[in-house]
Chains A and B, each alone.
Chain A
Amino acid sequence: MNDSMAARPAPLVTVTMTVNGRSVTRSVEPRTHLIDFLRNELDLTGSHLGCEHGVCGACTVRVDGDIVRGCLVLAVQLEGARVETIEGISASGEITDLQEAFVRRNALQCGYCTPGMLMCAAEFLRTRPSADREAIRDFISGNYCRCTGYHAIVDAIAETVEARRSAKGRGGHR
Chain B
Amino acid sequence: MNSFKGVVGTSVARPQARRFVFGRGRYTDDLRIAGTLHAVFLRSPYAHARIEAIDLDAARTVPGVVAAFDGKAIASVCAAWTAQFATLPDHRSAAQPPLAVERALWQGQPVAIVVADTRAIGEDALGLIEVQWHELEPLPHPVATAVADPAHPPLHAALGTNIAYERCIVAGDPDTTLAGADRVIKRRFQFTRHTGVPLETRTVLAEFEPGLRRLTVYQSTQVPHQMRAIYAELLGLSEANVRVIVPDVGGAFGVKLHLYDDEIAVAAASMLLGRPVKFVSDRLEAFVSDIHARGHTVDASVAVKNDGTVLGFEVDDIMEMGAYSVYPRTSVGEGLHAISLTGAPYAAPALRARLRAVFQNKAPVGSYRGVGQPIACGITEHLIDAAAAELGIDPAEMRRRNFRRAGIDPPKTAGGIAAGDLSHQRCLERLLQLMDYDGLCAERASARKAGRHLGIGIAAFVEMTAPGTGLYGAAGVKIACSDGCTLRLEPSGVVTCVTGATDQGQGSDTGMVQLIGDALGLDFDQVRLVAGDTAVTPVGGGTWASRGLVVGGEAALGAAHALRDRLIDIAAALLDVRRDALVLSASAVRERDGAKSLSLAELGGMMHYRQDLLPSEVERSPVVTFHVVPTGLIANGIQASLIELDPESGFVKPLRHWVVEDCGRVINPMLADEQLRGGVVQGLGEALLEECRYDERSQLQNATLADYLVPMASDMPDIVIDHVHTEVTGTLLGAKGIGEAGTIGAAAAFVNALNDALRAFGCAISEIPCTPERVLRALRRVP
Q: Which residues of A contact B (CB under 8 A)?
A: 1, 3, 6-7, 9, 29, 31-32, 39, 43-48, 50-56, 58, 85-87, 90, 99, 102-106, 108-115, 118, 133-134, 136-138, 140-154
Contacts and interface: CB of A to CB of B under 8 A. Distances in A.
A45 to B, nearest CB: 4
Interface stretch (B358-366, B392-400, B707-715): B707-715
B23 A146 contact: no
A7 B62 contact: yes
B18 A110 contact: no
B670 A106 contact: yes
Contact of A86 (B23, B62, B507, B710): B23
Interface string B93-117: 0000000000000000000000000
Interface string B244-279: 000011111100000000000000000000000000
A103 B199 contact: no
11 contacts: A39-B30, A51-B705, A86-B22, A87-B22, A110-B504, A112-B199, A118-B21, A134-B714, A146-B710, A147-B678, A149-B719
Given A51-B283, A102-B21, A149-B680, A6 B710 contact: no
Given A56-B199, A144-B710, 11 more contacts: A7-B125, A46-B24, A50-B283, A105-B670, A108-B17, A109-B674, A110-B252, A143-B713, A147-B505, A148-B677, A149-B719
Given A7-B62, A50-B200, A144-B199, A111 B20 contact: yes
B467 to A, nearest CB: 23
Contact of B677 (A115, A136, A149): A149
A109 B504 contact: yes
A99 B22 contact: yes
B13 interface: yes
Contacts of A3: 58, 127-128
Nearest to B671: A106
Contacts of A39: 29-30
Interface string B696-713: 000000001110001111
B14 interface: yes
Given A7-B128, A53-B705, A141 B714 contact: yes
Given A103-B17, A110-B505, A149-B681, A29 B120 contact: yes
Interface in B1-60: 13-14, 17-27, 29-30, 32, 58
Contact of A137 (B25, B506, B682, B714): B714
A150 B127 contact: no
A149 B251 CA distance: 13
Contacts of B248: 110-111
B86 to A, nearest CB: 35
Contact of B681 (A52, A99, A104, A150): A150
User: What are the nearest 10 A-B pairs in CB distance?
Assistant: A46-B23, A111-B20, A112-B250, A109-B505, A86-B23, A149-B681, A110-B505, A149-B677, A6-B127, A45-B30
Q: How large is the interface on B (under 10, 10 to 19, 20 to 34, 35 or more residues)?
A: 35 or more
Nearest to A114: B20
Contacts of B710: 144, 146
A150 B32 CA distance: 32
Contacts of A51: 283, 704-705
Contacts of B677: 148-149, 151-152
B718 interface: yes
Nearest to B504: A110
Contacts of A7: 61-63, 124-125, 127-128
Contact of A112 (B27, B32, B61): B27
Interface in B55-79: 58, 61-64
A145 B253 CA distance: 13
B338 to A, nearest CB: 24
Contacts of A143: 713
B283 A31 contact: no
A148 B27 contact: no
Contacts of A85: 23
A43 B32 CA distance: 9
Contact of B505 (A47, A53, A111): A111
Interface in B499-517: 504-507
B671 A9 contact: no
A87 B21 CA distance: 10
Residue from the set B22, B24, B58, B201 with the largest chain A CB neighbour count within 10 Å: B22
B761 to A, nearest CB: 28
B614 interface: no
Contacts of A140: 713
B197 interface: yes
A113 B199 contact: yes
Contacts of B682: 146, 149
B656 to A, nearest CB: 11
A106 B674 contact: yes
A111 B718 contact: no
Chief secondary structure at chain A's binding surface: loop
Nearest to A140: B713
Contacts of B716: 137, 149-151
A167 to B, nearest CB: 20
Given A102-B21, A140-B713, A153-B713, A108 B505 contact: yes
Nearest to B197: A146
Contacts of B473: none
A141 B712 contact: yes
A58 B124 contact: no
B14 A103 contact: yes
A48 B201 CA distance: 11
Interface string B656-695: 0000000000000011001001111110000000000000
Contacts of A48: 27, 199-200, 250
A110 B507 contact: no
Nearest to A95: B21
Contacts of B506: 109
Contacts of A99: 21-22
A9 B17 contact: no
A53 B284 CA distance: 9
A173 to B, nearest CB: 22
B250 A6 contact: no
Contact of B198 (A55, A102, A118, A146): A146
B233 interface: no
B182 interface: no
Contacts of B200: 48, 50, 110, 112
A111 B32 CA distance: 20
A137 B283 contact: no
Nearest to A99: B21
Nearest to B717: A151
B125 A103 contact: no
B282 interface: yes
A134 B717 CA distance: 10
Contacts of A104: 13
Contacts of B713: 136-138, 140-141, 143, 145, 150, 153-154
B10 to A, nearest CB: 13
B742 to A, nearest CB: 8
Given A50-B283, A140-B713, A150-B681, A110 B198 contact: yes
A149 to B, nearest CB: 3
A114 B22 CA distance: 9
A31 B120 contact: yes
Given A103-B18, A111-B20, A55 B678 contact: no
Contacts of B283: 50-53
B120 A55 contact: no
Residue from the set B24, B250, B677 with the largest chain A CB neighbour count within 10 Å: B250
Contacts of A144: 199, 705, 710, 712
Contacts of A50: 199-201, 283, 705
Contacts of B30: 39, 45
Contact of B21 (A55, A103, A147): A103
A146 B253 contact: yes
A148 to B, nearest CB: 5
A103 B13 contact: yes
Contacts of B284: 53
Given A86-B22, A111-B20, A148-B677, A55 B714 contact: no
